[in-house]
A and B are shown apart, each in its own frame.
Chain A
């Protein structure tokens, strides 16, 4: 079955008709849950859909979580059982989910201006509603937007993108089928800079192929940053016009 799927045609087209350096259709909405949370966002990257709710900064729920000079961030990730093709319930203690939560927590503890909220806690709740590759990157992007909506001061956007290498071709922003067919890495950058907040590679790749993958992922991150920035400014403008803030 796998051999009949042509991941990258000789004309340079992928399964969904994209070129090698095109990201998937990026749609985001901010302030989608104004009542239940301080900040919220929904991100759709291709078919991957993630909802993020942020509550805080607020009083910490657990005394042990209190850090005296900065804010502590707690991330909870729930993968909906209907998000994959086969219905499967993932327990909260699944090590992959816990690892993603831990990565997200570290990324945002450094991205948020933490010393402004000592002894406080920010709760980030993520719901993966549909999975089609690039879950970690969608979670990072969704969390960035939700934190912005919550009014949490941040140094810059944190934008994430995936890039893979099929033989010698670099492909940007992979979907699920492409992710299982080639080694890929997930990279998160700080806005439009060359600083990398998170880098994750899980399959073996030749060292010489690493640099083009990282370069492609970085330019993908910068592109996503521009897309997010456009949406945030549009949203801000519409709220100003509506007069509700």
Chain B
């Protein structure tokens, strides 16, 4: 594929997203992704398939909860022991025994955050393994090669990630490099008909940089875009403005994946701002550990149909959380994922049935007691797309 696509070729680029409904007030959309392992309704929350052994759930449980796309870990699987082994196991789908869709990241983010001895150069992300001292280079080409071997349905470009709290020339450097790495990923991608390569919009919290990145990356012929570099330590006020800027400049007929955003309120607001896909890794801290739940014999959510709520009370989970049995965390993961999936389903239904703004008002009322008690940033963000609360 050409490194930089000309405008005319954009017309023939594959469209994996079909829009089913659009909110007449906000930028919310309901759609359907057509992926190699089946259709996926959007907006969609994508759980992480293996959230490390402490909080993990099985693929069977994910399937039972209605999940049709989840995230696979490129870093853990693709780098050690390597793509050859995964290919022998019939790709990541075979290795995980997951019949539906998979989205893999480039491996870059985890490498930088997990490995202290990493270094970013124009070539890629290089690091020295703390175990055997071996030097490895994760280049855009290598990342795509690994993801090709994994066989995931959506693959992510390798991007130069900087924390949103970083300021100065480094942010611009990372943004420009990400564009160059996108081109290298597109060139290296061997299976464009089987795997969908997404670009990742960077630019930190600088509106100009982000706008430049948007302008450049949307010239490239990719099936979808991710909005990256957010959900770090930035303020919510800056966060929503960058999301809104991004969605205003991204093509309507391609999916928008907001990386690392998964908490309920954030999800609803960002759907209103025009995002379609979300992911999140949940931390282990939980309110259930508090004393007030010790004798609370109700389920976490009486309307939830997940196995945790069907069988267990808050009191039991409270007891288990105070023990050294990790089963408690698995119970909570199952419920949290069930909740997120159910929320997305409800959001989508409200968009299709043309009552999304009312849904948002009801939701904020339930979350905060009254829609007017909703956090300021969320109120502003919703107002910017025509939804007023209270």
| A, B: real partners | no
